[in-house]
Structure 1
Amino acid sequence: MVSLSKSIFKAYDIRGIIGNTLDAGIARQIGHAFGAAALAKGERSVVIGRDGRLSGPELAAALAQGLQAAGVDVIDLGMVATPMVYFGTNALETKSGIMVTGSHNPPDYNGFKMVLAGEAIYGDAITGLYDSIAAGTLQSAAQPGGYRTHDIRAAYLERIIGDVKIARPIKIAVDCGNGVAGAFAGDLYRGMGCEVIELFCDVDGTFPNHHPDPAHPENLQDLIRCLEETDAEIGLAFDGDGDRLGIVTKDGQIIYPDRQMMLFAADVLSRNPGAQILYDVKCTRHLAPYIEKAGGTPLMYKTGHSLVKAKLKETGAPLGGEMSGHIFFKDRWYGFDDGLYAGARMLEILTKQQDPSALLNALPQSDSTPELHLHLKEGENFALMDKLRSDAKFPGNERIITIDGLRVEYADGFGLARSSNTTPVIVLRFEAETPAALARIQGQFRDVILTAKPDAQLPF
């Protein structure tokens, strides 16, 4: 038996290592605590699903037992992509759901993404689940909740295929990295009228080919090679649970999500003129002017899929997106992050062009780094970030944005340092008009970080 550890209760979800910090016993307790929280909100039933990880069936079964012990009815969708659980909370008779998923983490990880009474829960709401388990006060209901299975596949695919239309036939390559999106992506895009080359679409929780995380270029090399060697026009890649999208052009260029957002924003603003478009602090500085040019109002916000979802609801914005690949459509969809749906919307835009790759490659860009990680001891990341915010001095008239960490805007680029909410790292990202400007901005960040922590092992 694994003992309960507060460390698995993260900012946006719950995540642990099987046999070390997470097992069936912990999953059952989490189900019981979530069930009690759902009942307190007037929710009588909860949708659950799981990704393709080997530990998924055991954890999902234990989670269901915990929910039922609380007196909540369980609707089990089986093996699905995370957005299909979110879809279930919109299409079925409940607004609460839990997805058993390790997302893009290594095979021995698993965890839970949660929606409670229509809200993506984060922060205090997640630590509240820990508190209620640790207090030992959870009561078993006199009448346990019921349990039934439900196949949501057809309703989910029909909802997308019925609304999103491609302008012409197109041949695409799809790489699912043996994640759960592979069970649905081919049928979805074929249903829309695409010809599909499938790469690693058989679900295998050991991820034998490459890691299912399109944020990292090394995981897109098979897709790049496929586009080079076949007549497919464009490549789509998905993370382990199907809520994030990666895109590769015919000539092997990776179109990161902050540039994808430019096309999505222009499309959404054509139907919602003047609307706010939400994006996180890690996104390119070219995105805001692109949104303004398309007639929208750019709104930079904190990183974190749960935080963006909550802000989307608060502002009524029809679109939000994160550099990590979570894209949230409220326009024609429900406001949750869905990589499969985002892929469909991108194909709708791209098929209006004879050369989709030319459209993507023409989007504004600068020299930039991927996410860089400064690894620290547990808790040290928050302390260092506080010190940087209070003490760091940047020469010149730079604009300093502190909504999430420290983003320093220069005339010719930006630098970002922010604390990860899920691991003990400072996330860094840099962008500039020239290699010399990039080196200058990195140099300034190097100076302020080493002033605050002389022994920091910088990743740049």
Structure 2
Amino acid sequence: MKRVFLKGDFVEGGGQIIPSLHDDAWLKNIVESSGQLSRPVKVVVDCANAVPGPFMLRLLDTLGADYTPLLCEWDASEPHHGADPTRPKNMVMLADKVKEIGAELGIGIDGDGDRVGIVDEKGNFIYPDRLLPFFAYDVLSQRQGMSEEARSIVFDVKSSMSVEQAILAAGGVPVMERTGHSFMKKWLSEHPECGLAAEMSGHIFFNESGWFGFDDSLYITARLLTLISRLPTLSNGDETIGQYLDRIVPSLPTTGEVKVPCLEDIKDSTVEAIKQAYQNEGWAMSTVDGVRVRYEVDGEYLGWYLARRSNTEEVLVMRAEATSEAALSKLMTHIERLSGPHIDISKFLATVN
């Protein structure tokens, strides 16, 4: 393929290009599903000079938001920062603007328009998995007494333990799935009554209210702002976005997602060795995607540790989280003891002082 490309000796086809503009219908479908804002939420939106920018502005105008745009013009060179809203470094400009103008929140969009991330009113970075309970409370409020499948909320193995606990508190059935948007979409297609799924990476899939079960940053933005505009405590000033999220899905001490170098041909065997090390000591675990072990002391769930192979890079993806800094520190000593003999995890251990 490279040789053909460099030579430029392409086969000429006999087809034709027929422009088919669909943005009007797309935006119409979004607003018909999400509804209009009940009040003009004050928000900053950073589109990172990526594809969704111009369409985001049209959507926010249609919704009636009080918005400030950042980097909503197309520029593939990404002159200011990358288009990945799950990386705190890419959300600094957004956070600064939110604090400068006193916005309620800031929303960051990814390059191809299927993920979002947010910062709260203080500019604090919010891991995207914490948005799932925000939406789950809304979806589940209309599904109490329905089937277990209808009350299922799907999250990926990298998501916080707070997510699972919040889903239970909202009357839902938490379902842990493999990381990867294709797996989420497959699960939803096989369980059509399920209304909501999400990943830590910011992919959020609505399968209700007339939406179609796929991840769309414009639709996620519309649902987020609409819900914020309708929640009484956020509208009457009793709570800020940050306070509301801290109440329903607390932020816990975590390493964040860490990519640990691992050669392709030993990724599977390394994960298997790590799994065996914890199994030998009787740790409870999920193996739906790599190995995610539960850290329990006297039957109390205090944290977890994940090691899974990346499907796109020569790394193992690791993350640990616990209910307190002390519990996380203790968990990391176990990880060093049990995982350390099988792979160099110095980069991972360095995330916790």
Same fold (TM over 0.5): yes
The alignment partner of 1:246 has SS state of strand
CA distance in 1 between partners of 2:59 and 2:152 (Å)? 30
Deviation track 1:102-126 (CA, whole Å, cap 9, x = no partner) reads: xxxxxxxxxxxxxxxxxxxxxxxxx
Q: State which of 154, 172, 180 in structure 1 corresponds to 2:51.
A: 180
The alignment partner of 2:45 has SS state of strand
State the shift of 1:458 in Å.
3.4
Answer yes or no: is the 8 Å Cα contact 1:244–1:325 preserved in 2.
yes
The alignment partner of 1:265 has SS state of helix
Structure 2: gaps spanning 5 or more residues: 296-300
Letter of the 1:359 partner, please give it: Y
The alignment partner of 2:52 has SS state of helix
The yes-or-no answer on 1:341 pairing with 2:211 is no
State the shift of 1:166 in Å.
1.5
Answer yes or no: is the 8 Å Cα contact 2:336–2:345 preserved in 1.
no
Alignment partner, residue 233 of structure 1: 104
The yes-or-no answer on 1:324 pairing with 2:324 is no
Matches within 5 A, 1:265-414: 265-273=136-144, 274=146, 275-316=151-192, 317-332=194-209, 333-352=211-230, 353-354=234-235, 355=237, 356-357=240-241, 358-362=243-247, 363-393=249-279, 395=281, 398-410=283-295, 411-414=301-304
The alignment partner of 1:428 has SS state of strand
Answer yes or no: is the 8 Å Cα contact 2:277–2:339 preserved in 1.
no
The alignment partner of 1:235 has SS state of strand
Deviation track 1:254-274 (CA, whole Å, cap 9, x = no partner) reads: 222221000111111122334
Letter of the 1:430 partner, please give it: A
Deviation track 1:297-337 (CA, whole Å, cap 9, x = no partner) reads: 11101000001100111122111000000000001210001
CA distance in 2 between partners of 1:255 and 1:452 (Å)? 32
Deviation track 1:17-43 (CA, whole Å, cap 9, x = no partner) reads: x98xxx988xx8xxxxxxxxxxxxxxx
Answer yes or no: is the 8 Å Cα contact 1:280–1:301 preserved in 2.
yes
Alignment partner, residue 298 of structure 2: none
Instruction: Compare 226-235 and 297-306 and name the one that shifted more.
Output: 226-235
Q: Using a 3 Å threshold, how does the CA distance of structure 1 residues 307 and 213 change in structure 2: closer, same or farther?
A: same
Answer yes or no: is the 8 Å Cα contact 2:258–2:348 preserved in 1.
yes
State the shift of 1:457 in Å.
4.7
Answer yes or no: is the 8 Å Cα contact 2:41–2:228 preserved in 1.
no
- TM, length-normalised to structure 1: 0.67
The alignment partner of 1:379 has SS state of helix
How many residues are matched? 328
The alignment partner of 1:407 has SS state of strand
Structure ranking higher on relative contact order (CA contacts 8 Å, 6+ apart): 2
The alignment partner of 2:81 has SS state of coil
Q: What is the identity percentage for the equivalent residue pairs of Structure 1 and Structure 2?
A: 35
Which contiguous aligned blocks of 4+ residues in structure 1 show a shift greater than 6 angstroms?
Answer: none
Structure 1: gaps spanning 5 or more residues: 5-17, 29-61, 70-143
- TM, length-normalised to structure 2: 0.86
The alignment partner of 1:458 has SS state of helix
CA distance in 2 between partners of 1:230 and 1:388 (Å)? 48
